Every structure is written in C-alpha cells, then in structure tokens.
Amino acid sequence: METTDRAVRPSNAGERAARAAANAGEPTLEFVGGLPYDAYVHAGTLHSLQKPISKDPGEMSFLMISQIMELYFGLTCFELREAQRLLREDDVWGALGPLRRACLDIEGLNAAWRGLRWMTPADFNRFRDQLGEASGFQSAMYRHLEFLLGLRNAALLRPFHRHPEAYEALLEAMRAPSLWDDVIAVLARRGFGIPRDLLDRDVAAEHERHPAVEAAWVDIYRDETPGNPLWMLGEALTELADGFGDWRYQHLKAVQRSMGEKSGSGGSAGAAWLRRSMDRVVFPEIWSARTLV
C-alpha cells in the first residue's frame, strides 16, 4: 500500500489548464512526495523485477518478453471476464467493447514474439541450462486464459497443487462457465434451440461441438440485417479465436527457431507437444458454421 504522500491525487480540467498556464506550457518539473507517474504505474517496481540468472545478455530479452506476455495474459483475462459479466446481463452490445480490447491485447501478445526472432539455438543454449525445469507451461495466468476461452483439462491443474492460491483460483475458473458457455446461454435466451442438457452440462469439462449451437450460428450469419448484435458478437469472437490461434502458432515457430525438435524444459516433447495442443479449437461452432452458411 502506498503512503498518502505517494497517492495519485485527482485533478480536473480547470486545474490542468491553470497548471499549464503557470508553467507557460512547459511540463511540471517539481513534485512534492514523489513522482505521480511512478505512484500510478509503479514503473520502478516493474523495472526491478528483471533478475537474470545467467551472465548472457540475451537472457534479459527472453525474460522481459516473458514478463510482458504474462501482463498481457492478465489483461486479456480481465477483459474476457468483463465481457462475461455483460453477456450474463444480456448486454451483447456492451460486451463488444471488452471483446474488442481483448483482441487488441492478443495483437500485443503476438507482436511480443517478434522481440525473440533474433534467438538462434546457439543463442538460447547460452542460458537455457540455467532455466532448469522453468517452462511457460507452468504459467497460471496463461492457464486462466485457456479456461476462459473454454479449453479445459483437469490434469493441467496438477503443476499448481502445491501452490494453494494459484490452484484454488484455477480450480474456481475451471468450475465456472467459460466465455463460450456464456455465449451459448445468450443464444438460448434469444430464442435459438439450445437444448437444456447443454445449458446444464458440467462446465468443468471441455465443450464439444454441438449441432444446435452450430445451427444457431448458421442462422445468425445468414441474417444480413445491418447492426445485428449477434452477428457482430460472432465476428468479435472469431477475431479473438483467430488471434489466439496465431499466438499458439507463433509460440510453435519460436520454439522451432530456438530449439528445433528438442525436448521442452518442462518435460514435454517441445514442438511436438505444441502441435498437438493446437488441435484443440476455441469456439468450435463459430468455425464449423461457416461451412454451412
């Protein structure tokens, strides 16, 4: 908790105009009680979190980009939970805003991979051994993102069972409806023929493609009424799923570029394991409906 003299103090348009006039248009250079920017962003804290464990300078790039991705995972999860809240209120229009922001967050995630394109196998090998068993597979926030998108597998909770806070949060997320479950509930409320057993299913299990959901999306995409909110919802979800698929593909390419077909640090088969994981489709009926429209 920040002390009072470090708190960000609110201001208004009049105060900002008066300050600019007093400064003759120049930025304020003197502050009492610390820098307001740092009090808000905690930049000093963020820049203290990079602690490389080798002497190789390339590790800093690998470490910081991993941390940037973690922040983007958290931000994307935040936006998806906001979209869920609005969908549960049947506010489809409102949900489009956080979904759009989530799509842009995933664009940031995809752009982050470009910061590692310099890394050859020789570059990675200079510090890889120092990482031990540390692997992105162990990212709790990435697992939250998968669960929110509907990709669920109880076995993936096991790495966290000795970390109660992370484990309980993930268990709660897996037992709660995914974004896709909430979308299907919206379709049911809007009069599409979604069967009761699908609405009442155990959401901890991964959703499997259902013909009733597919038929609903076929009808939605055949409706060319301008401004159809469900059509716009479908396109927002398509962009989200597409961007997430791009992130998984970029992950695979980064692994192939830096280590080829070697075993992963966390015990997996590396690139081969990533290829298999890409077969699990996000929002499957959004894609299969396109064949029938």
One-character DSSP codes across 109-146: HHHHGGGGTT--HHHHHHHHGGGTT--GGG-HHHHHHH
For the ranges 24-33, 45-54, 115-124, the lowest mean pLDDT is seen at 24-33
Does residue 166 register a pLDDT over 80? yes
For 58-292, the fitting CATH number among 2.60.40.10, 1.20.58.480, 1.10.3720.10, 3.40.630.30 is 1.20.58.480
Report pTM: 0.92
Nearest alpha-carbon partner for 71 in 108, 34, 103, 35: 108
Nearest alpha-carbon partner for 172 in 149, 203, 197: 203
Burial, 32: exposed, middle or buried (Cβ in 10 Å; 0-12, 13-18, 19+)? exposed
Does residue 5 register a pLDDT over 60? no
Domain parsing of the chain, residue ranges: 4-46, 58-292
- 128 annotated as a binding-site residue: yes
pLDDT band at 268 (very low <50, low <70, confident <90, very high): confident
CA dist., res. 249 & res. 117, Å (int): 14
Mean residue pLDDT of the chain comes to: 92
pLDDT at 6: 55
pLDDT at 266: 74
Nearest alpha-carbon partner for 116 in 54, 65, 57, 56: 65
pLDDT at 134: 85
CA dist., res. 177 & res. 191, Å (int): 20
- Selected residue with higher pLDDT from 8 and 59: 59
**Tokens found for residue 292:** 């029938």
One-character DSSP codes across 250-280: HHHHHHHHHHTTPPPTTSS-THHHHHHHTTS
- 251 annotated as a binding-site residue: yes
